[in-house]
Amino acid sequence: MLEPAEIVQRFLLAKRQVHPEVVAWIREQNDPGLVDRILRETPDDVVVVSRGAIPSIRPERDGVRFLADPLEVLEGAAGSSSPVTSIQDYVHYFRDRYTRLGGLVRSRVHAMPIEALVRTSRYRQQECTIIGMVVEARATAKGHRLIQFEDPTGVIPVLFNKNRPDFDDAERLVPDEVAGVRGKLSDEGSLFYGEQILRPDVPVNHAPFLSKEPGKAVLISDVHVGSDTFLPDAWSRFADWLDESDEIGYLLIAGDLVDGIGVYPGQERELVISNIDEQYAEFGRMLEDLPSRLRIVAAPGNHDVVRGAEPQPALPERFAAHLPGNCTLVENPAVVSLQGVHVLMYHGRAMDDLISLIPGASYDRPGEMMEEMLRRRHLAPSYGRRTPIAAAKTDRLLIDPVPEVLLTGHVHILGLCQYRGVLGVNAGAWQSQTAFQKQMNVNPTPGRAVALDLRTLVPEVHDFS
């Protein structure tokens, strides 16, 4: 067995630091090649190797996923997002997105670079696969779908015939998503006829981890404290219920903690607390009134005080100071491990984009949009729309590795989905219909909380409205 000092030394030689938990775990495994494998798999920008940094180190084969604290922030801990500089790193950002999502498709099929495909006449009329990012998607005059696909070597137009059985899959291709396309190059080599779309997707055999220990979490979102449509009575019924529900140990809140100030024109007329510090102070008092046994995790949303560009940083200290000590603040998105069950928390602003881009999508069925995210292994596939994205060296909005639970909010409508072993929960809100939602014909389902049994991952909806 390696001594702790030796393990630390080997990480230092590779210019990394290593979390003591990881050292303890490595010693237990008694696997001589493990340190090398971990170092190989750790992304370049990771300085401190913690258990969350690398999927392979999560010790699933012996059914143990945590060593000490049952609640751990695996990704999106406060302070992990990089500041937005004037020159954003778009090149690295999209390269990272393409490499990692393309890699997921490449692990299942043999794909050709676009340049190699079109350079000679050899591949014309032959079935092959390309992996690209969607540059542009549009309908042709005859109702077919024409998509410009780009990979690091070139761009090619791909035509999907509307009479093919999987045409609806092609209609759902959205700008900037990464996918594989199986098809054939045309006779003259300038057009690719798409036959099948291969998305990064959740593996078909994905088996979610289940906690061995008893435990329950409650998932909510969009509290909107400070708004005149916030529902204090529903919240107090929820708080009373938490008081009586001893088995519930965790409360996760996926953003829009407060209503904010100046989020939309005329908002001041709909606020009962018009000071941002006061809004967080009131939110803090509400959390303080909840049972102190709860471990609370709160992420920001587009109404919160932090920058809108995703990943959004955790609440800064000035506002965090209002919140009780049992509350852990995380970024948006973040991955939180509850007794080994990984919950990917994402506020869900990209739902606006997906709903506007995907035919047949509706605010009433957010569960379907969570499935679309999971198929693309990305929380916000389209860039430059309503969801601002802070480009950086890595794409933090990728869904990788696959979590047990995806928790979103933002649309204020409760929705659940089960997709290849992943539970999707779009929590409702604690705010009734706003004037804006009325205008947009959005009918919220406020006052719902979803309780999740960590041993079964079976969700239970509780209505406090």
CB of 406 to Fe ion, least distance (A): 16
Pairing of strands 415-419, 405-408: unpaired
x/- site string to Fe ion, residues 280 to 309, per CB under 5 A? ---------------------xx-------
CB of 232 to Fe ion, least distance (A): 17
DSSP 3-state of 161: coil
422 vs 409: CA distance, rounded Å: 17
CB of 259 to Fe ion, least distance (A): 8
Q: By C-beta, is 180 or 301 nearer to Fe ion?
A: 301
| Total site size for Fe ion, rule CB under 5 A | 5
DSSP 3-state of 36: helix
Q: Is the peptide bond before 401 cis (omega within 30 degrees of 0)?
A: yes
- Let me know: does 210 contact 456? Beta carbons within 8 Å: yes
Positive or negative, the CA dihedral 367, 369, 370, 375 is: positive
Q: By C-beta, is 180 or 348 nearer to Fe ion?
A: 348
CB of 432 to Fe ion, least distance (A): 12
CB of 431 to Fe ion, least distance (A): 7
Window of 100-108, 118-126, 251-259, 270-278 that interacts with Fe ion by CB under 5 A: 251-259
CB of 348 to Fe ion, least distance (A): 7
Burial, 456: exposed, middle or buried (Cβ in 10 Å; 0-12, 13-18, 19+)? exposed
**264-to-36, 37, 123, 132, 303 alpha-carbon distances in Å:** 51, 49, 53, 37, 9
Q: Could you say which of 195, 256, 331, 353 contacts Fe ion (CB under 5 A)?
A: 256
By CB under 5 A, the residues from 198 to 227 that bind Fe ion are 222
Strand locations in 339-410, DSSP E?
Answer: 341-345, 405-408
Q: By C-beta, is 72 or 256 nearer to Fe ion?
A: 256
Q: By C-beta, is 134 or 350 nearer to Fe ion?
A: 350
Which of left, alpha, beta for 266 (phi over 0: left; psi -120 to 50: alpha)? left
Q: Which residue has its beta carbon closest to Fe ion?
A: 256
- Let me know: does 437 contact 416? Beta carbons within 8 Å: no
| Six-digit token string for 269 | 């007329």
279 part of the interface to Fe ion, by CB under 5 A: no
Q: By C-beta, is 256 or 395 nearer to Fe ion?
A: 256
By CB under 5 A, the residues from 393 to 412 that bind Fe ion are 410
CB of 442 to Fe ion, least distance (A): 11
Window of 107-115, 252-260, 263-271, 370-378 that interacts with Fe ion by CB under 5 A: 252-260
Q: By C-beta, is 183 or 446 nearer to Fe ion?
A: 446
Q: Which of 62, 53, 63, 60 is nearest to 21 (CA)?
A: 53
Q: By C-beta, is 102 or 300 nearer to Fe ion?
A: 300
Residue with tokens 């043999």: 110
372 part of the interface to Fe ion, by CB under 5 A: no
x/- site string to Fe ion, residues 149 to 188, per CB under 5 A? ----------------------------------------
According to DSSP, the residues that pair with 55 across neighbouring strands are none
- Let me know: does 76 contact 332? Beta carbons within 8 Å: yes
| Chain center to CA of 82 | 17
Q: Which positions touch Fe ion (CB under 5 A)?
A: 222, 256, 301-302, 410
